Structure 1
Amino acid sequence: MRSDSDLTARARIRDAALARFGADGVAGTSVRAVAADVGVSPGLVLHHFGSKEGLRQACDEHVIAAIRGGGGESSAALGEALQAATPIRRYLGRALLDGTAAASTLFAEIVERTEEWLAEGEREGWVRPSADPRARTVVYVSWLLAPLVLGDQVGRFLGGDTAETATAVRGARAGMEMLTDGLFADDRWLKAYSAIEDLT
């Protein structure tokens, strides 16, 4: 069994890797660089994770656990979750840009978890029903992740790094405003796309 100090070292290495992978990508990150960030030997990294791929898998598991955990309903709990999520946002953005198999798995997990969350919202009455719940979920997730993938472009107009909490919250609030109050004042565009769909 591992001691508490071993578990702490493991978590520190994983968090350093999360930051490195988010900044430089998995291909651009070495075990030696992660070890140097933590102040341990590369051998200790390999002792805990076996390989760089094992380290990446641990990062994926950490991100998935954070997604499954979600944020609490209170603004304080949500704020804490957002503050803690900056390295996770960076990691997700880089993984999606790199287009790895792991990124596809992460995206699928996010879609699945979000679809469950929206279905629960429908049952509880705080989410409107949809004619196509799967498409709604995929589009919603895509909107949420787009600022991370288009980080430089979006950040220029929002005035900051999209992985940082202040910028992420600014963009998310604008999105939530549109989703809650609506963007269009009438249904002309919905009717137009529905008509096109009926023809295909």
Structure 2
Amino acid sequence: MDPVNKHGDRPPEDLTARARIRDAALAQFAERGYAAATLRGVADAAGVSIGLVQHHFGTKDGLRRACDTYATDTLASLDGLGVAGGEITDSDFLARMFRHSPLILRYIARAMVDGSPTAATFFDSGAATAEVFLTRTWPERFPPGSDRARDAAAVMAAMHQATIVLHEHLSRRMGADVLAAENSARIGLAMFDVYTSMADFAASDTGAAIRDGARTYQRGTSAAQQNGPGDDRDH
């Protein structure tokens, strides 16, 4: 069986039995999916008896609920990672985040592929945090409560969280496991490069023309929907 800390989490001796079982379950659910994972497999990976797993968590569903709670509490939003409070600029904070997040990120990635309720909670939390960030930072561009702010925040959350779901493809293309603790900053650094370059492109004449064309198209489709298929005023 694969060890609990295969993906760079804490050494087993640093964990309580309950936490060791939970981390083993996070890894098993991430690698096998909920349907294929078993309590026996989790117990073997954690180095405990199946009876101890049942003592702490009851059933496999109870174990998944515990994993869901732990994952969502840890990575519920960007604010939870220290963005709003400013801790994210602290190198020690970043080091701790990168060291402890890979196992949870793998679990979330599998949950999002499987379409579990946890995935919806994680996405909605990320979108809500993105909306707060956009409206506070650029209130004139993204008025609070506006469709523009909502849409931009949802797309922002999808763009960021897609890197988690597609981590295997990113790892293949980038030549390293991007969710391993020593490599997990590479996605963020690449994202900064992309955002910086795209900001320049968006400000260019070509970018402005594409944006204007998209807005013209959107206005046209909105007008057509308002007129309805039975409207013959132009005939």
Instruction: State whether TM-score is above 0.5.
Output: yes
Alignment match, 1:74: 89
- Structure 2 matches for 1:1-200, cutoff 5 A? 8-68=16-76, 69-71=80-82, 72-76=87-91, 77-122=93-138, 129-130=141-142, 132-180=148-196, 182-184=199-201, 185-186=203-204, 187-200=208-221
Any unmatched runs of 5+ in structure 2?
1-14, 222-235
Larger proportion of helix: 1
8 Å contact kept, 2:72–2:118: no
8 Å contact kept, 1:64–1:109: no
Query: For residue 22 of structure 2, what is the amino acid of its counterpart?
Result: R
Under a length normalisation based on structure 2, what TM-score does the superposition of the two structures give? 0.71
Mark the CA change 1:199 to 1:109 in structure 2 (over 3 Å): closer, same or farther.
same
**Residues matched between the structures, number:** 190
CA distance in 2, matches of 1:166, 1:190: 38
Any unmatched runs of 5+ in structure 1?
1-6
Query: For residue 35 of structure 1, what is the amino acid of its counterpart?
Result: A
CA apart distance, 1:80: 1.9
Under a length normalisation based on structure 1, what TM-score does the superposition of the two structures give? 0.82
Query: For residue 99 of structure 2, what is the amino acid of its counterpart?
Result: Q
CA distance in 2, matches of 1:197, 1:188: 14
CA distance in 1, matches of 2:129, 2:42: 30
CA apart distance, 1:34: 0.7
Moved more, 146-155 or 31-40: 146-155
Aligned to 1:130, what secondary structure does the other structure show? coil
CA apart distance, 1:177: 3.0
Q: Matched residues, percent identical? A: 34
